[in-house]
Structure 1
């Protein structure tokens, strides 16, 4: 299984791995404006138990669940606690090392490579900004659609601004100034996402907001 070299937080001084282990902040920036932080990420939240917004998401889905970009595994663990079969996939060895301590099933790789159970997943998750993976949202959603069962759904965490859409090369830095290599990334809000759904064979099932976070569920139309 091949693993892309330009993935979230990889390379350079490995700030993502360091921040995960230390539970520190990460700062994501556009490489065109390196000094400007676009997003501040509280990595300690990824290491913690699922919060109310996470659980609001899981209360709306059924398994089996594939958490794409699962990080240290909190969503997989929470889904399992709710009685669902759940599996996590991530390219980060450090994240999966931490996830393995929770029990459950995790594997290292890219969603664009061969994934176990293709065409059988009832829910694929793209939370914590993971709709940005690969920097090409239509391509990522098309791939997620391939992984779903006929009645399956994609659940996405969106940008809170419905008219927001950005595609760019990003890097992350930790609080000590260590930087990753650059990687393709993207962000999108509900209205901009809705414009691409028809051509992807997807439809909006539900949208909700909680604790400053925005989510939607998408289902196949054909």
Structure 2
């Protein structure tokens, strides 16, 4: 297919939380500490070092399944977008954080400061969408996110999604935390383990083409289909499950 054209970036309204200086600083320096801080005080460490490094074996297992034009949703500092560009692939990253977009471009990738819920270039013409590094949590509603992504893909397209490393299914409100306390405004987030990811996917009409695990990271290749509104929601795991 013809790669979706990339227009000049338009003004967007990134989440103030993700534009907080500690996140931008972590991306610039390539290290943390950085956490998502839940309202009950629980902390989820963010793997900034891995995001800013080159691709590893788990990443490569995902890149090997990318086909055609690729949209990386929540691309962060752009390691996957840059890796695809280096190999001659057609890829666009989107992220609500200007610092992430800047890092992606510096690494040789193409990126826009945009939310997945904003109008995007090439809607219904993307061959592959990526949802890595916990980004199933974007917006705090996996069902809404999966439905939105289905509307971005071309016929025959696929979503390559990463699940949480533990069996959890929770929605919560979080803030950024650099180890010295929470910062910025709260925003909704979700954590979804492998079984919950496949359950949410089935409920919104996705078919699981395959799933696999590399180095303790869990992935699924999903193909959109007809929503099954009567699919069981399942029993959420305890919100306090440890990462």
Is the TM value for this pair above 0.5?
A: yes
Match of 2:239 in 1: none
After superposition, the CA RMSD in angstroms is 1.8
Post-superposition CA distance 1:131-170 (Å, at most 9, x none): 10000000001001100011011111101234x1010001
1:21 to 7, 13, 28: 28
Tell me if structure 2 keeps the 8 A contact 1:6–1:184: no
Tell which has more relative contact order, 1 or 2 (C-alpha 8 A, sep 6+): 1
Determine whether 1:100 maps to 2:105.
yes
2:70 to 62, 65, 71: 65
The structure-2 alpha-carbon separation of the partners of 1:2 and 1:30, relative to structure 1 and needing over 3 Å to count, comes to: farther
Match of 2:5 in 1: none
The structure-2 alpha-carbon separation of the partners of 1:106 and 1:6, relative to structure 1 and needing over 3 Å to count, comes to: closer
Q: CA deviation at 1:24?
A: 2.2
Q: Distance in 1 between matches of 2:68 and 2:117?
A: 21
Q: CA deviation at 1:218?
A: 0.4
Tell me if structure 1 keeps the 8 A contact 2:15–2:96: no
Greater shift in the superposed pair: 15-24 or 111-120: 15-24
* Structure 1, gaps ≥5 residues long: none
Match of 2:58 in 1: 53
Q: Distance in 2 between matches of 1:141 and 1:130?
A: 11
Alignment of 1:1-222 (within 5 A): 3-4=12-13, 6=15, 9-11=18-20, 14-25=21-32, 26-31=34-39, 33-34=40-41, 36-37=42-43, 39-162=44-167, 164-177=168-181, 179-222=183-226
TM-score by length of 2: 0.82
Tell me if structure 1 keeps the 8 A contact 2:18–2:96: no
More helix by share: 1
Q: CA deviation at 1:63?
A: 2.2
* Structure 2, gaps ≥5 residues long: 1-9, 227-243
The structure-2 alpha-carbon separation of the partners of 1:114 and 1:42, relative to structure 1 and needing over 3 Å to count, comes to: same
TM-score by length of 1: 0.90
Post-superposition CA distance 1:99-143 (Å, at most 9, x none): 111223211111101100000101111101111000000000100
Tell me if structure 2 keeps the 8 A contact 1:27–1:41: yes
